[in-house]
Every structure is written in C-alpha cells, then in structure tokens.
Chain A
Amino acid sequence: DVVLTQTPPTLSATIGQSVSISCRSSQSLLHSNGNTYLHWLLQRPGQSPQLLIYSVSRLESGVPNRFSGSGSGTDFTLKISGVEAEDLGVYYCVQGTHAPMYTFGAGTKLELK
C-alpha cells in the first residue's frame, strides 16, 4: 500500500509568512499514463475538506494563487506565499495514482503563531 508522509505535523505561522508542507510517498505517484495524481485539500475548523490543488500543481477554481504545488515522483510540496487568517486548518495530501486505493497523508495543522 502507498503511504503518504506529511511534514511537519504542525506548522505555526504569522500572517504574511510563507510556509511549505511536504508530502512524501512510499511509491512513485507517476501514473503509467504520464499524469501524477497527487492532490492537496484544506479542512478548516468545523468544515468539510475542500480541494485546493490537483495533479501536483493545478489550482482548483476559486482558490487564491498564493497556494502553489510542486514536485514529482515521490516528493511533493504545497507552498502558501503569504499566509492569511482564512488559511488556518489542516492540510492533507491525497494520492489517486494507485486508485482505487486512495490514500491520505496524516495531515498538517497550520496555526497562528
């Protein structure tokens, strides 16, 4: 089974600070079709998760462009360029390359310093 390891588990940031979250996979997430199905979700406190970035770096419609994703193979990064208060919550990476067995990272909690 594919294991996604997110680091750090908790991230403290000030408003305006840029931060990064890492997601490392136990297997390559490059699909045989050439695509990489690694996505990022944000779950704000008390809310359902929402899709931020799909296929490594594609910004979901309506998501601010301070969010960006990068990476390949087994190493991926979500960057927030200038944290805003509404960005607080838990970030999850999820892989769909080895679907249908989708797997999530354990999450990274972003909180205010």
Chain B
Amino acid sequence: EVQLVESGGGLVQPGRSLKLSCVASGFTFSNYGMNWIRQAPGKGLEWVAYISSGSSYIYYAETVKGRFTISRDNAKNTLYLQMTSLRSEDTALYYCASWRYWGQGVMVTVSS
C-alpha cells in the first residue's frame, strides 16, 4: 500500500521556522519527482515546491522563494520542507505529493 506520511506541522509565530517531513512507503520513492502543495483553510490548492528524483532540479513558487527549502533523502524515503521567515499567509495544510500519490497533509498555523 502506498503511503505518504507528513509530520512536523504545528503552531508557530510569524518570523519563526518549521521543518516538515514526509516519509514514503509502498512505491519506489527515488524514482519520483516530489512536490509540496498547500491549501489554505477553505481555499484551493497552491503548488509550493518541486524536487526531481535525484535532487538535481529544484523549483519554488514565487511566494516562498528564498524562505523555503525543499530537500530529500532517498536512502530514508523522506521528503523535507524547511520553512523560514514564516508569515500568516503561509498558514495552510501542506501536502507531500507526486501527483499520483498524496499524503494526508500536515497543518501549519502561523500566528502570534
């Protein structure tokens, strides 16, 4: 069974940092480019970042460029998102996804 399990979310103050993790199982993680996609409460989907299967290509949405860093460890079947200088508008449910496979999401709330 394919699983993507995100963790690391929570309540954080503006300007602080948080690191999300996503552990994959049930498929060959190292063969897939991966994304972080977020959904603000009651809103639609927003692509955040992409990393290729071998980490050679990394891209970010303009809204997070310079503040977020995507990375992966294929030996650990894990995807990461390091988030710094968090803003209230970063409040959202963050999904780890390959388009075909999606995690259940992890909530990040940025508030003082």
Is B61 located at the chain interface by the 8 A CB criterion? yes
Assess the B61–A101 pair: CB atoms within 8 A.
Answer: yes
- Decide yes or no whether B46 CB sits under 8 A from chain A: yes
Complex-state Cα separation, A39 to B98, whole angstroms: 13
In the complex, chain B residues whose CB is within 8 Å of the CB of A96 = 99
Bound-state CA distance A102–B63 (Å) is 13
By a CB distance below 8 angstroms, the chain B residues around A100 are 50, 57, 59
Partner of B35 from the list A43, A48, A102 (CB cut-off 8 Å) is A102
Q: Is the CB of A104 within 8 A of B44?
A: yes
B45 at the interface (CB under 8 A from A): yes
- Whether A107 contacts B44 by the Cβ 8 Å rule is yes
- For the complex, give the distance between the alpha carbons of A104 and B100 in Å: 15
A13: Cβ under 8 A from any B Cβ = no
Q: Is the CB of B99 within 8 A of A39?
A: yes
CB < 8 Å: which of A41, A43, A99, A104 contacts B46? A104
Separation in Å of the B104 CB from the closest CB of chain A? 6
What's the tally of chain B residues with a CB closer than 8 Å to chain A? 17
A106 within 8 A of B: yes
Min CB distance A25 to B, Å, is: 15
Which parts of B62-112 form the interface with A (CB within 8 Å)?
95, 97, 99-100, 102-105
Collect the chain A residues with CB atoms within 8 Å of residue B59's CB: 99-101
Does A51 sit at the interface, judged by CB under 8 A?
yes
Contacts A100-B59, A101-B59, A101-B61 hold; do A51 and B103 have CB atoms under 8 A apart? no
Question: Which of A51, A100, A105 has its CB near the most chain B CB atoms (within 10 A)?
Answer: A100
Q: Which of A67-87 contact B (CB under 8 A)?
A: none
Further pairs besides A43-B45, A48-B95: 12, Cβ < 8 Å? A49-B97, A51-B100, A54-B99, A94-B47, A99-B50, A101-B59, A101-B61, A102-B35, A102-B50, A104-B46, A105-B44, A107-B44
